[in-house]
Each structure stands twice: as C-alpha cells, then as structure tokens.
Amino acid sequence: MASTFYNEILTEHNIHPYHKHKLDGSNFSLEGVNPSCGDDIVLSLKIEDGKIVDGAYVGDGCAISQASADMMLDLVIGKTKEEAIRLKDIFLRMIKGEISEDEKKELEEASVLSDVSHMPARVKCAVLGWHTLEEILDEKPA
Amino acid sequence: MSNLNNKADVAAIRSAFPILNDTTAYLDNAATTQKPVSVISAARNYYDTMNANPLRGLYKLSVAATDAYEGARSTVARFINARESEEIVFTRNTTESLNLLAYSYGMNFLKEGDEILISIMEHHSNMIPWQQTAKRTGAVLKYVDCDDQGKISVEAFEAAVSDRTRIVAMTQLSNVLGTLNDVKTFAAIAHRHGAVFIADGAQSVPHVPVDVQDLDVDFLAFSGHKMYAPMGIGVLYGKRELLEKMPPFLFGGEMIESVTREDAKFAEVPHKFEAGTVNAAGAVGLDAAIKFVRSIGFEAIEARENALTEYAFKKLAAIPHLHILGSGRPEDHHGILTFTIDDVHPHDVAYILDTKDIDVRAGHHCAQPLMKQFGVFSTTRASLSFYNTEEEIDRLAAALGELRKEMGYDDPAE
C-alpha cells in the first residue's frame, strides 16, 4: 500500500488533541477560516510579558488543519513572541519546501507536515493555525 | 448499438480511451469525463487539415472549416432532437450558456415583482446568474426544495410556481444527489403559468437520452467536456422564437449583418450569439463525441451505468459509518454517489484515496445551499461512467472500508 503521511503523529493530534479546548483567562482570540473547504478554528492565547504562557483552540475541519493547530501550540506555548514568530516563519517556509534539516528539527512533530509542500491543495489546511497565530502576534504588542 | 454486458465489451470500450489504465480508478466523471481517441483525433484532424477561421473566409480551407463547424451544429441538433440547427448556439460550457440566458433573457425581459424559480439542488452555475438577475432587475428569486430523498415533488413545484414566475431554471440531473428531475412535467406546469423553462443538462445529456421537443423545455444548457468531448465547447439550445427576440450577449465580430459608425444590425440566430472566433476544433470534437456515444447507444449506456451504480451503492451502503446523501434507492442515483464518513473530513478521504490511485471529488460540489439543507458542509463524491469497472468499485469500497482505521479510529471489528 502506498504510504500516506497520515501517520500516527498526525492522526493522534487529530483524534486526541492536547490543546483543543476553551481557554480560561486568554487575552487574545482570533478565528481563522478556509471558506472553500470549511476548515475553521478559533485560536486563543494567553500572552504575558511578551511570552505565550498558554494557548488552545476549538474548531472543525480536516485532519491536517486540526492536527497542525495542535502541533503548533505544542511548539509555541512557553515561547516568547519573537521565538514563536521565528518558528512560524520556519513552518511557512517548510510548506514551500525551503528549509534546512536543522530548521526542520526545530519544528519537532510539526515537521511531519513537510510533505504538504508537494500537496498544493492542502497547503491552506496546514497553515491555517499558523496564519491565525501570525495575525494575533502581528497586531498585538503584548 | 453495442453492448456493455461483459468484461470483454467494457475492456474494448476502455481501450478507446488513451488515458484509462488499470492503475488509476477514475471516478470523477461528473466533473469531467475522459476522451476517446476518436474525439482527440477529430479535434487534431481539424487543426491538421482544415484550420481556418470559419464563417468568413472565401477560400477552400475556410469553407472546409465552416462545413466542419456547421456540421457539428447539425449533429448536436439531431442528438437532442431540436427542430433545426439554428436552435443550437455554441458556447464554452454550461456556465456560459446559463450566463447567456441570464444576461440576454433575464436581465432584459424581467422587471420588479417578477419571479425566478430555481431548485435547491442547482449547481452554482444555475444559481448565481439568477441571483444576479434578481438583484439587477428587482425580480424575486425563489427556491423549490427537495425532500430528504432528493426528490422534488409535483406538489412542491406547484406550490412554488406562480403567475408571477417568468423563468424556471432547473437541473435535469443533480450533480450531488444523482436525482433525475421530471423536467417534462415541471416544464408543462411552468408553461401554464406563462414562464419559460430552462433545463440544466450538464449531468443528464451524457447519461440519458434527452429530446428537447418531447420534454418541451424552452432552453437546454450542457457542456461537451462532461460527455467525452474536449473542454471549452458547450451548447445552448433555445426555441427559435425565443432566441430571435433575445438581444446578443456579446458584441463584436462574426455576430453582425452590417455596421455603421453609430449602430449595427445583428446576424441571424444562432450567429448573433457567437461573437468572435469560435472553438471550431472543440465543436468538431463534440461532433465526434456524439457519434461515439450514439455508436454505443443510450440503451446500453443506461443499462451499464445503472448496473454499476447499483453495484457501487450496495458496496458503499454496507460500509459502517458511511452515509450516502439522498435517495436510499440505487436506481435514483444515476452514477452519482455522494457520501460522508463519520469523523473524517472529505478532503482527508479524497487524499487517502488518491494515495491508492482512486480519483474522487471532495468539497461542496458547487452546491453549498443544497449541502446546508442536508446538514453537511462538505462531502465526497464518486461518479461513474460506462467505462468504469466493478474492480474499480471494489477498490473504492475496500479503501473506504479501511479509512477510519487508517485515520486512527479504533472501530470494533464488524
């Protein structure tokens, strides 16, 4: 059988997400939507002194969109705004197929989505969470 | 007339399609069909041997191009039993045919308070042009709903149509549910109320015999590419008296009789609707596609496609967590099976099927209001042609049966 990238990491984050819940005490919240396919997430962050101290999301959509948001939160919770933005840049470049192996390691589990660079129809699913994060961080000087 | 009753017949038909092979199961025929070699050769032969700008040149090559183009028009007219070739307007596709009607008929002849009636199961291409017509003219756009089996009843239609209805536009065969609407009955009711009836034949014309005189529809729109012809050639059939009173949709070359500095006298139908250089190779390809379809015959096509649909319906309906949209009877589906699988997004379904070389469509199928009525946002669709095989359907069913497990769901063994 042809291998798919719907491997254990991805399906686990989709079916048993760690961060898919409402977040008490969040101070930033933003909805991200892919209208054409119906992927929809609301990302909530608790940012204190320039650091993402907690985060969560709720939403519906394909496995890639949901698991990607979950893996993103794994990565950025506990990071400063600047570090999160740097990881976001690496992730978005990974989706374009433009990163080094070292950079890929920095993305930890989120790197399982690197194959999306060969799947143009799924790019917007993979980046939905990251773009929503970007909008929050760009707009809010926390 | 040929037969498609056994594997050898189907194998012979498949061998007429260069792109078909045993590796890839192409099950997205409602989006576009594959092309037989006779169609590809006919279009190529047009460019190889008779290419010139049709309808204007005075030399032999242009006469040959014109003959080929107009010959295709006659073939189309006979295929749908139009009274005469002049009732056939070539367009790019169904969407353009329906837009032609919205711009030329709807926006010129409708006024505030008039009503346009469409069904909830319309493709966006037979919905958005009428939304725009309503906005621009002040007419009211009304919908007739279908039941949960995907059927539009005569009672529901009677209740939705009124003496203010000027246009009824309805698909003959739903691209999502596979429902074959009784357009003959609905057209007769529409006419009693003084409305014109527009049939969207994009999905029906390739799969069931369509006789415009028998159905007594005023207009019929369909695409070549969904019926084995090249992309970029479509048809609008219209009753001559209606086409004659409609103003042109596009202005320019080849649609005029004479031009002064201030004004122009337009050509006769159908040429007044075919401004600019036409898609002659596409028309020639459509001519060949119709001949290909007729060489098999609708009796054999329908028998084969209905048998395949029943086979696929039973296989899919037996899969736990899979839900087929619309009728619970396979004979109502006409080659179209749209479904959901619990907890798995259709884009994930289509992607996993693609890794197994099974091609299906996933998404809203350009019918978002219908999806909403059925309480789903997005679905997966397998759509069949006579050239599909039981083996391809077995592969689809096997892949769908394993899909939830592959996505990490731990279902109990059946």
Confidence band of A37 (pLDDT split at 50, 70, 90): confident
Is residue A42 pLDDT above 60, yes or no? yes
User: Which residues of chain A lie closer than 8 angstroms to B378, CB-CB?
Assistant: 37-38
What residues pair up with B200 in beta bridges, in sequence order? B171, B221
Cα A135 to the chain's mean position, in Å?
12
Torsion of CA B5, B327, B332, B192, to 10 degrees: -170
The domain total for chain B is 2
Domain boundary among B232, B261, B294: B294
Per-residue 3-state assignment (H helix, E strand, C coil) for B230-269: CCCCEEEEECHHHHHHCCCCCCCCCCEEEECCCCEEECCC
Q: What is the pLDDT of residue B2?
A: 62
Instruction: State which residues form the domain around B84.
Output: 39-294
Region A115-122: mean pLDDT is: 89
Confidence band of A3 (pLDDT split at 50, 70, 90): low
Q: How far apart are CA A85 and CA B373, in angstroms?
A: 41
**Domain A8-139: CATH class, spelled out:** alpha beta
Residues contacting residue B212 through CB under 8 Å, at least 6 positions apart: B80, B81, B82, B220, B237
B90 in Cβ contact with B187 (< 8 Å): no
Q: What is the pLDDT of residue A89?
A: 96
Is residue A1 pLDDT above 80, yes or no? no
User: Which residues of chain A lie closer than 8 angstroms to B376, CB-CB?
Assistant: none
For residues B131 and B264, state if they share a domain.
Answer: yes
Confidence band of A123 (pLDDT split at 50, 70, 90): very high
CA distances from B268 to A31, B54, B247, B256, B280 (A): 55, 16, 11, 8, 19
For residues B23 and B53, state if they share a domain.
Answer: no
For residues B304 and B395, state if they share a domain.
Answer: yes
Q: Quick check: is B411 in a domain?
A: no
Domain boundary among B250, B270, B294: B294
Residue B102 belongs to a domain with what CATH number?
Answer: 3.40.640.10
For residues B21 and B148, state if they share a domain.
Answer: no
Quote the pTM value.
0.93
Q: Quick check: is B413 in a domain?
A: no
Please give the structure tokens belonging to residue B181.
């609407």
Catalytic residue check, B146: no
For residues B109 and B226, state if they share a domain.
Answer: yes
Complex ipTM value? 0.86
Locus of tokens 């969407």: B95
Q: What is the pLDDT of residue A33?
A: 92
Domain boundary among B234, B260, B294: B294
Q: How far apart are CA B30 and CA B204, in angstroms?
A: 10
Max CA separation in chain B (angstroms): 79
Q: How far apart are CA B371 and CA B177, in angstroms?
A: 10
Size of interface A-B (CB pairs under 8 A): 52
For residue B209, give how far its alpha carbon lies from the nearest alpha carbon of chain A (Å): 34
User: So where are chain A's domains?
Assistant: 8-139
CA distances from B54 to B257, B367, B393 (A): 16, 37, 44
Position with higher pLDDT, B159 vs A140: B159
Region A5-34: mean pLDDT is: 92
Residue B337 belongs to a domain with what CATH number?
Answer: 3.90.1150.10
Pairing of strands B196-200, B165-171: parallel
Q: Quick check: is B243 in a domain?
A: yes
Locus of tokens 């689809």: B396
Task: Name the 3-class secondary structure at B370.
Answer: helix
Please give the structure tokens belonging to residue B374.
């059925």
Q: How far apart are CA B335 and CA B343, in angstroms?
A: 25
User: Which residues of chain A lie closer than 8 angstroms to B352, CB-CB?
Assistant: 4, 6
Q: B355–A2: do the CB atoms touch at under 8 Å?
A: yes
For residues B115 and B45, state if they share a domain.
Answer: yes
Closest residue in A to B352 (Cα–Cα): A4
Q: What is the pLDDT of residues A57-113, one digit of tens each?
A: 999 999 999 999 999 999 999 999 999 999 999 999 999 999 999 999 999 999 999
What residues pair up with B18 in beta bridges, in sequence order? none
Q: Quick check: is B305 in a domain?
A: yes
Q: How far apart are CA B249 and CA B205, in angstroms?
A: 24
What residues pair up with A56 in beta bridges, in sequence order? A44
Q: How far apart are CA B255 and CA B261, in angstroms?
A: 16
Q: What is the pLDDT of residue A141?
A: 52
Q: What is the mean pLDDT of chain A?
A: 91
Q: What is the pLDDT of residue A2?
A: 40
Q: Quick check: is B2 in a domain?
A: no
| Residue A1 touches chain B, beta carbons under 8 Å | yes
Please give the structure tokens belonging to residue B7.
């594997």
Q: Quick check: is B1 in a domain?
A: no
CB nearest B408 (choices: A2, A11, A62)? A11
Q: Quick check: is B401 in a domain?
A: yes
For residues B262 and B321, state if they share a domain.
Answer: no
Task: Name the 3-class secondary structure at B54.
Answer: coil
For residues B192 and B301, state if they share a domain.
Answer: no
For residues B200 and B348, state if they share a domain.
Answer: no
Query: Which residues of chain B carry a pLDDT beneath 70?
Result: 1-2, 413-414
List for chain B the helix, strand, coil content (%; round to 5).
45, 15, 40
Q: B378–A37: do the CB atoms touch at under 8 Å?
A: yes
Q: Tally Cβ neighbours within 10 Å of residue B192.
A: 11
